[in-house]
Structure 1
Amino acid sequence: MTGFKTTLIVCKQCGRRIMVRTADAERGSITCSHVGCGAINNLQTSFHFDENIVRGLPGFGQLTYLDDPEITYPLRFGSNVIGIADSCTVQVTRFVHNGRCFISRRHCTLSVTFDKWTGQLRYQLQDGAVDSITQTIQYSLNGTLLGGALLKKTEMIDVGDGEIITLGGTDRFRLMHYSIAPAMLETYKVELDFNPDRTQ
């Protein structure tokens, strides 16, 4: 462990500060030296994944229309505005039911980001989309549901792999995540120096 500096941590048992030296960090634990304590404090070396991994990915997941699984919509990294307008990142078909379309022009936003701690893509859904002129969120007319539950207007919620997003209460889409292979992740692992805030 190169470049390690001595630092203080709080003992998990007695609550008093103890100094961590290079040898302690390399060993992965330190015994509290305060009289009457002697607790062993485990130290974590941590890592994260380099977000540059997303540059080489062949895709970022997709939405599949449940009434016709042949209809799929690929997602991009970043903000995906979903709706029937030409300006949408994901322009869906104007599905008509009894003469009406229940999907708004800019219905909802599905954001795809990279979680550097898990090494996987994260998908977050919110109703409506930011208006490019006013920079305020314009909500959908008929609402957005996740797994049958209506999203609140200001809510942004994580969407799991295979979960169902319903636009306007009628048109249902299954979200399929893109999963990054463990072998690829290993090549983007970044070891961090010992972090005193990440003790076990």
Structure 2
Amino acid sequence: MTTSTTKPRIDMAQFLTLSVNTLHNYFFNVPKEKSRRLYKEIAAGESVGIATLTVGDTKESGSKEPGNKEPGSKENGIKLKLCLDQSEFKGHLTFHLFQGALGMMLRNIADKIQRKADLNIFTSSETGEILIHLPGLVEDRGHLNVLVMGIAPSKTGALIKLQFLDSDQFRKDNPQAAAAAAANDSEPDSGEEESSASEQQHEHSGGQSPQ
């Protein structure tokens, strides 16, 4: 007698929808001290578990934080981790700037999914990693920065890789988008600047999704 293990099955649009919701929840809906804590962890180079994406027998899916599985449920879970590569960021990356780039990226992905448009996905034939080239843009001190989301699948789940790309190459390939980003960031909000400064002071002293 043989036994088989049923692996979670989920299409890319569904996976991205749940991932976008999870990231939005963690960085825009929860108390700011929690989202800043997660940001500091991934900014330090850590891969942090953020949720388990579930696909139930009723074909309903959602995201749950680890340990929140409902009793008696027969759901297959996809463990989700998050990391950040800021090696190509030009300027000084703060939580506020990260939020700006992330928010724009999430809106771009959500819009494409809602309109069932091309998600501009690139897949590595060598590693199986996926890059969703729907970026979020943010400018710091005249430097354009481009944030995209990658997905590295594993046996137990997936690693969401937020990464900043070479902005000079992006300017050459997307001059109109680069100009629009510069215009949007030309008048920073004073309150947001104070928040950024306060964040840096806290760092020296010692801090989830569209429904």
TM-score, length of structure 1 as denominator length: 0.26
Larger Rg: 1
Q: Identify, as 1 or 2, the structure richer in strand.
A: 1
Greater fraction of residues in helix: 2
TM-score, length-scaled by structure 2: 0.25
